[in-house]
Amino acid sequence: MPSYNAGVLGATGAVGQKFIRLLENHPWFTVKALGASERSAGKSYREAANWIESTPMPELAAGMKVRSCKAEEFKDVDFVFSGLDSSVATEIEGEFAKAGIPVISNAKNFRTDPTVPLLIPEVNPDHIELIREQNFTKDGSGWIVTNPNCVVVPLVTTLKPLHEAFGIKSVILTSMQAISGAGYPGVPSLDILGNVIPLIGGEESKIHEEPLKLLAELKDGKLIHTDFPVQATATRVPVINGHLLTVTVGFEKSADAAEAEKLMRDWESPIADLGLPSAPPKPIKVHDDERYPQPRLHADSEQGMQTAVGRVRNANVLDITYVAMAHNTVRGAAGGAILNAELLVKKGFIS
Ligand code: NAP
């Protein structure tokens, strides 16, 4: 069984806490070091973190002293997960990579870098080879891998089998995003209770761009991005966990909803045989009940790692339309990053 020491940067935040919860009993990774801002550094994790998870704070983490996010303070780990605020992630993640400490990040900062893999293991596992193009260290020991925006995860997981079979021509979607996606303390209660906010600043451009990198072809160490228009409207709704999307897709080839639904239902992920502890047996679950998926009922399916799909039907505009949903802080953040780390171990990048 592989065994590695991991650090968590941004450990006190919403995503950082999810890391600590998900890693508590991880068979391969042990949390050895926690980092956050100078506001938290020097305090015990119990004092520094306003714990918002529904299970008790793991004892191991509770007693740890929070460190500053300086690479020299993390020499005792094999790699770090990052749940850092994007205002500081460029500088801190870059510093760790330059110091030879691999970074597996949730932040948006390096997602568009042409040498940084934007990774969903079931969608584009081959893109991890891009790591070899990075120049943070001479010996290749320091590198960065990112996971996509939390809406993009269920979007591209469902688009992948459709794109392979029919070619995507265009996509229109509306996201109904849970408040945990805004971190802690996040959206003021007076803004969100009994309400829908029809704008999430900076979100739509990520939903427009990231699918084209995720579905890119890797050729001679370079990504050739796919090229289809995505039109997104990102909204915030009074749901705690689980981003739900309505997605309408146009295809290059002729295809109908029954064919699309069968493809999503039968889709086997290319990493199914690798034995990664956090990989769901099936990345997509297609629900037959027309009332599903619902965030409260299905966000936790397969430990929050599965994308739920429902209401696949022929569309009046473009070709087909469906509903997709995934847990934003698990599959769309910490759980996705942990699965990335597992793939990186299996492929020999973490040793
Ligand atoms: P959050 O709750 O606001 O947490 C931010 C973390 O960054 C805290 O641990 C904070 O530490 C730390 N931090 C802030 N300033 C710092 C500094 N100057 N130096 C070192 N650490 C600093 O945010 P979040 O929702 O967990 O999101 C974290 C990252 O993941 C963001 O980049 C976000 O865009 C991304 N993400 C979030 C989600 C989601 O669903 N929430 C999904 C995908 C990606 P202190 O507590 O000490 O201030």
- Choose among 220, 252, 237, 244: nearest CA to 319: 252
Answer yes or no: is the C-beta of 84 below 6 A from any ligand 1 atom.
Answer: yes
Q: Ligand 1, closest atom to CA 68?
A: 20
Pocket flag, ligand 1, residue 332 (CB < 6 Å)? yes
Supply the pLDDT for residue 351: 84
Same domain, yes or no: 105 and 168 = no
Q: Pick the catalytic residue: 127, 243, 298, 327?
A: 243
- Which domain does 35 fall in, by range? 4-149+334-346
Task: Return the closest-CA partner of residue 249 out of 241, 257, 259.
Answer: 257
pLDDT at residue 2 in the model: 86
* CA distances (Å), origin 217, targets 110, 199, 225, 236, 304: 19, 32, 7, 33, 28
pLDDT in tens, 250-284: 999 999 999 999 999 999 989 999 999 999 999 99
34 in contact with ligand 1, CB cutoff 6 A: no
Is 150 a pocket residue for ligand 1 (Cβ < 6 Å)? yes
pLDDT at position 145: 98
User: Is there a domain that residue 351 lies in?
Assistant: no
Q: What pLDDT score was predicted for residue 121? A: 98
The answer to whether residues 131 and 170 belong to one domain is no
Same domain, 119 and 220: no
**Regions of the chain with pLDDT less than 70:** none
pTM above 0.75, yes or no: yes
Looking at the structure, do residues 181 and 199 belong to the same domain, yes or no?
A: yes
pLDDT at 179: 96
Q: 86 in ligand 1 pocket by Cβ < 6 Å?
A: yes
Distance of CA 100 to the CA centre of its chain: 23
Q: Are 125 and 343 in contact (CB under 8 A)?
A: yes
- Does some domain include residue 202? yes
**CATH at residue 13:** 3.40.50.720
| Catalytic residue check, 69 | no
- Number of Cβ atoms within 10 Å of the Cβ of 33: 20
CA distance 197 to 201: 11
If asked whether residues 242 and 165 sit together in one domain, one would say: yes
Do residue 112 and residue 238 come from a single domain?
Answer: no
Q: Mind giving me the DSSP string for 82-141?
A: E---HHHHHHHHHHHHHTT--EEE-SSTTTT-TTS-B--TTT-GGGGGGGGG--SSTTS-
Which pairing describes strands 103-105 and 79-82: parallel, antiparallel, or unpaired? parallel
What residue's CA is closest to ligand 1, atom 9? 10
Q: Which tens digits make up the pLDDT trace of 194-223?
A: 999 999 999 999 999 999 999 999 999 999
Domain assignment present for residue 244? The answer is: yes
- Residues 238, 254 within the same domain: yes
Which one of 8, 12, 15 would you pick to mutate in the ligand 1 pocket, going by the greatest count of ligand atoms within 8 A of its CB?
Answer: 15
Among residues 127, 150, 287, 327, which one is catalytic? 150
pLDDT value of position 1: 83
**CATH number of the domain bearing residue 300:** 3.30.360.10
Asked whether 338 and 19 are in contact (CB, 8 A), the reply is yes
User: What pLDDT, on a 0 to 100 scale, did the predictor assign at position 200?
Assistant: 97
CA-nearest residue, atom 42 of ligand 1: 333
> How many structural domains is the chain composed of?
2
